Amino acid sequence: MGSHRNALVAVVRQELAEARGTARAVLAAAESARTEAQRRKKLIREAYSTCLAQLSEARDAARQDILHRTHTEAATLTRNVESLAALSAPGAAGTPWRFWTPTEPDRVGRPGLLRIGTVAYETGTDRTKLPALVPFLDHAHLNVLGDQPDVDNVIAGVLLRALGTTRPGDVRVSVHDPEQLGGTLPGFAPLGPAGLLNVISPAGLGAALDELVEHICRVNETVLAGGHQSLAELTGATTGPRPEPWWVVVLLFDPNRAGDLTDGQRAQLERIVRTGVACGVHLMVRGLELVPHPTVERVAARDGRAACDTTGDLEVALDTPPPADRIAGFCRATVERLREGPPPARFTDLEPDRIWTGTATYGLVAPIGDSTGGTLVPVTLGDELPHALIGGPAGSGKTNLVYAWIGALAARYSPAELALYLLDFKQGAAFARFAPGPRDPSWLPQVRLAGVNVDGDREFGLAVLRHLGEELRTRSRAARRHEARPRIVAVIDGFPPRLTDEATALLEDLARRGPAQGIHLVLAARDLAGTAALAAHFPLRIALPKAQGVLAGDNLAAAVIPRHHAVVNTDSGAAGANRVVRLPDASDRTGWRALQRKLWQQRPDTCEPPRLFDGDAVPRLPAMYRPAGRVAAGHADVGSSPGAVLGERIDVTAGPARLRLGRMPGRNLAVLGTRTGEACDVLAAAALSLAAQGPASFSIACLDPDAEPAAARLMAELPHHFEEDGIPHYVIGYGLDAAGPAYRERLRALLTDGPEQRRHVLGWWRSVPRLLDDIGTRRDTIGAWVALDVRGPELSPLSPRPGGPLWHPRRRRALFFDRSEHRTPEVIIPYEVNSDHT
């Protein structure tokens, strides 16, 4: 019994223990689940807070982005509208009155819009004002209604802006003011005596309207006869002043008496509304509402505010009216300008609407200025007028005229149609602007060659004439093959009064036979005495003020024309063929640079920069004629004859003057003269160019203390090779005349036998007698020489010409003669090798 109870107790205890364990496990699981639930709740709350923060940040960022884009686009739109307004109403058409001045319109421009006030609108936190513009000339009639003071101010402002944006005489005004008899617009009264304004009497309105209708009919017939739709279109197809001025009719009616118009007057007014704008007739009407028409611009003004058809629902704040004294002053100035005539053409007026549309098949036609009436005056170079003479004293504007002519030609004819060769014999760099420079890389695409400061280098002018003579022969052969070539215009500014026989013969040949092959000459000179033999070939004459010898003896036109004018004569200067031309200012670099860059950017890919020869510039030794470094032995070409570069040739192409040093007797060089720096440059250029062509060895002997720095620099730059067979060896001698009699025999032996062994002497002697003393009777051992400041007669012993060459030494020029190449010596420019003496 007791054991049974014990067993039962044990079972109960076991079950209780298991129940407690189970309860504890369930409790632990519940605690764990609760903890996990709390953790997840916390995470969800944190995620929710993060999400809210991110959404808030995204919302704020999006809002800021929208605001930024709104401000940016509003600012961009504002700038665009401002730019459009500036383009639509430039200068006097849109400038506020406190800054207002009249502006000269473009020769080919048409009237734009006119300002009457401002339109304000919000751009974010800013308030922006834009000009309120209305159309008028060539666009609309103006019908202004509302408070009379505001209406009168609008009419006065628009009328003043219309007059201020046109040339004097281009607008005539008629005013019908029956109440004040013209007193409503008193500031415009000074226009009356000049015929620019007339007042229509109260009883004369009907006759005035009839006259307007007749004028419209006449203009309309002219417009239609020319195949145009309006007078504005006809004017745009012509150059110079308008065929007919605009006619502005100001009708100032009293609103209370506008009904007094007769039916006939109303009918005529309606005809003018319908057809007037196309014929340059415009109405400005107050107090009477015009019939609806697309050409009628309505303005309703009240209390300094206005609304008009152009601005729509936007309110316009009207400008304060211009002061009456300003209007009167402008009108007096306009009358004075009308008496003086239109201003001369600007350089930009010579430019056509589209560049390079001309064809040179039958000649070259381009304006050089305008007439006193304002029409551009074209000048022709062709078969009938093949060449031109330009004459005038110093400072009369010859170069300015040439600039204008070149610019007009270059804008009309592409490089395939026109080639320019330009020479300036005056002191200056007039034509250097047409070639690329360190500040401006552009060039004029039609220019093939430009020579400046050529007066001291007549050899270059002669070389150009020889080149043109060869071009003439080439074109004669090409003509038989029907090959098209561009026309050539050779311009010589500062034409020299005295010419050599060869230059005269070349010019006469070009003047006689050139036009048939498309070659034309333009000679500009102060003294045309040197052109007497050529004058018969130059029927086109252009005389500047006080020019002499250009026109016929009985033609005195050049003596009476003012500055900035020229007489263009197409009959060899005869008195009956004059035309006076006003010349623009074509020397302004800003205007020229704009045109040149435009043409340069449109140049063909095959267009190359022109050759620029500057007589005052010293060419540097090109890098290709300097040794790049040591040249390995064994690479010498023993069969070739190296060429020593001595300087730049004065020729159409900027090529070097070379001396071939082969295995022939006498292949040695003597540099003669006392100019140490130039002599050192000649020797250095020769040595460096020889070293650049392949392996060579050098010996340098310097016997002149002044030449020691140059000799040391040359030694440092030359590659070092030991003398060996197959490699030429050059002896560079500075001041060899200082060696004395003790070394003469060895020197003579080297000069005589050295070239056959590829040993050559390149030496400097300070005078011809000293050279002759050193070489003795074997003068043929010096096969070539370069003379610096040695006069022609002193070179007689070395020259094939009896008495010596025709040579007058000048700075940085040398006379080069090679017995194996030259019949006569040629002038060269020694290269600058070391810049410490230039």
CB 486 within 8 A of CB 360: yes
Q: What is the pLDDT of residue 588?
A: 81
CA angle centred on 376, ends 375 and 382, rounded to 5°: 135
First to last CA, the chain: 142
More confident residue, 244 or 277: 277
Q: Are strands 305-308 and 296-302 parallel, antiparallel or unpaired?
A: antiparallel
Q: What does the mean pLDDT of the chain come to?
A: 88
Q: Are strands 316-318 and 305-308 parallel, antiparallel or unpaired?
A: antiparallel
Q: What is the pLDDT of residue 418?
A: 97
Percentage above 90 pLDDT, the chain:
60
pLDDT digits (tens, 9 = 90+) for 776-825: 988 999 999 999 999 999 999 999 889 999 999 999 999 999 999 999 99
As a whole number, mean pLDDT of residues 115-127 equals 78
pLDDT digits (tens, 9 = 90+) for 663-705: 999 999 999 999 999 999 999 999 999 999 888 999 999 999 9
Q: What is the pLDDT of residue 634?
A: 38
Rounded Cα distance between 84 and 520, Å, is: 46
β-sheet with 519-525: strand ranges across: 376-381, 364-370, 578-582, 565-569, 540-543, 388-391, 519-525, 487-493, 418-424, 447-452, 611-614
pLDDT exceeds cutoff 80 at 236? no
pLDDT digits (tens, 9 = 90+) for 442-460: 999 999 999 999 988 989 9
pLDDT exceeds cutoff 80 at 727? yes
Find the range with the poorest average confidence among 115-129, 254-268, 666-680: 115-129
**Token digits for 537?**
């070939």
pLDDT exceeds cutoff 60 at 636? no
Q: What is the pLDDT of residue 637?
A: 40
Q: What is the pLDDT of residue 639?
A: 41
Whether the predicted model's global pTM rises above the 0.75 cut: no
Coil, helix or strand at residue 160: helix
pLDDT digits (tens, 9 = 90+) for 269-316: 999 999 999 899 999 999 899 999 999 999 999 999 999 998 888 899
CA angle centred on 562, ends 558 and 567, rounded to 5°: 40
Q: Is the dihedral of CA 708, 711, 717, 720 positive or negative?
A: negative
More confident residue, 708 or 69: 708
Q: What is the pLDDT of residue 88?
A: 83
pLDDT digits (tens, 9 = 90+) for 139-191: 999 999 999 999 999 999 999 999 999 988 889 999 999 888 777 888 899 99
Rounded Cα distance between 494 and 498, Å, is: 12
Rounded Cα distance between 164 and 104, Å, is: 8
Coil, helix or strand at residue 666: coil
More confident residue, 641 or 744: 744
pLDDT exceeds cutoff 90 at 379? yes
More confident residue, 240 or 365: 365
Residue 807 phi/psi, 5° resolution? Answer: -140, 125
pLDDT band with cut points at 50, 70 and 90 for residue 234: low
Q: What is the pLDDT of residue 499?
A: 84
Q: What is the pLDDT of residue 4?
A: 79
pLDDT digits (tens, 9 = 90+) for 514-535: 999 999 999 998 877 666 778 8
CB 301 within 8 A of CB 151: yes
Q: What is the pLDDT of residue 752?
A: 95
pLDDT digits (tens, 9 = 90+) for 386-406: 999 999 998 899 999 999 999
Alpha helices in 581-634 (DSSP H): 589-601
pLDDT band with cut points at 50, 70 and 90 for residue 8: confident
Q: What is the pLDDT of residue 617?
A: 92
